[in-house]
Every structure is written in structure tokens, then in C-alpha cells.
Structure 1
Amino acid sequence: MAELYSKAEDRTPYTVVALQECERMNFLTKEIRRSLKELDLGLKGELTITTDMEELGNGLFLDQVPASWTKRAYPSMYPLGVWYADLLLRIK
């Protein structure tokens, strides 16, 4: 997609915002994937559980968006389940 809009003069404000949102969502989903894989390995005993992994596990248990995800995400007051469903709709 970035190749389609490589010329600065072709970029409308809407295009710039859309590309920025795509970049933010990609960064957020990579962090979600990375942290969940790391937590999985920690729970299997293949990695030592860190404070970040423990906070992630607690957030998942308490239906709260973990802080490491909130830093990279859009502002939201939703609990984790609703937040994740909203994230999927935004990505779609």
C-alpha cells in the first residue's frame, strides 16, 4: 500500500491518516502476538516469568487491557473482551 502512495504530492490528508492508523495497528498487533507467545512459553516453563508477563496474565484474568498493549493502542475505557472485539472491527 505504501508503494501506491510513494509520492508526497499524491497523499491526501485522509491517505496519510489511513497509513498512520495501519502502522499503529500493525505495531499493536505485533506487540499483542509477541507478548502472548512469551507468556505462553513462560506458563509452559520454557521461560522465566517476568514482571511484564505476570502483569499480562493478571490483566487477561481480570478482563483488563494490559498496560503494554494500552501504551500502543488508542484510548479506550472498555474491558478486555469488548476492547479486543472493537480492535478487530477497527482492523477490518
Structure 2
Amino acid sequence: MRFLFLLFVLVAFKSNASHVMGGEITYKCIGGNTYIFELTFYRDCNGSDVTISSEVLRVWNHPTLTSISIPFISREDISPTCSPVSGGPSP
């Protein structure tokens, strides 16, 4: 076991993400035991495209509920744009 630990510590591998920039998960109780979950996912438009239609949240401390599937409902481009008047490039 100690050998495996040393192997993983001493042998470093470089990895790079090509599209995920960040995200956040929020939830809102709408009464009783009913919740609305929202996943906001930020990605680099120059990276690879997101081709999945949903994301799965895992639940560890509930006896019968083990996962929640969140479908992707919409996409919105939030790329910043610069006005040519202010000297920035126009996309």
C-alpha cells in the first residue's frame, strides 16, 4: 500500500481540460420534500462541444435516493463582447 502511495505521489501526470470553465449547483425548496435543482455550467466555446443531454447528481446519505438526473434545458452564450469604439476587438 505504501508503494502505491509513493508511486502516485512521485509520478505526476499533466492533464488539461478542454471545455469546462466552472459551474454552480443551486436548489430551492418549493414545499414539502420537493426541490428544484439548477446546474449552471460554464464552458470555453473554443473547446470541445458538450454533447450530453443531462447531468447526474449523486446522493450518498439517503437510503433509497442515490442519484438525481438534471436535464439540460437551454443554452445561452454569455461571451463578452467589446465595442470597437472603446478600442476592443469586435467578435
Do the two structures share a fold, i.e. TM-score over 0.5? no
Shorter-chain TM-score tier: under 0.3
Normalising by the residue count of structure 2, what TM-score does the alignment of the two structures yield?
A: 0.22
User: Which has more radius of gyration?
Assistant: 2
Name which structure has the greater RCO, CA cutoff 8 Å, separation 6+. Answer: 1
Point out the structure with the larger strand share: 2
Compute the TM-score of the two structures, normalised by the length of structure 1.
Answer: 0.22
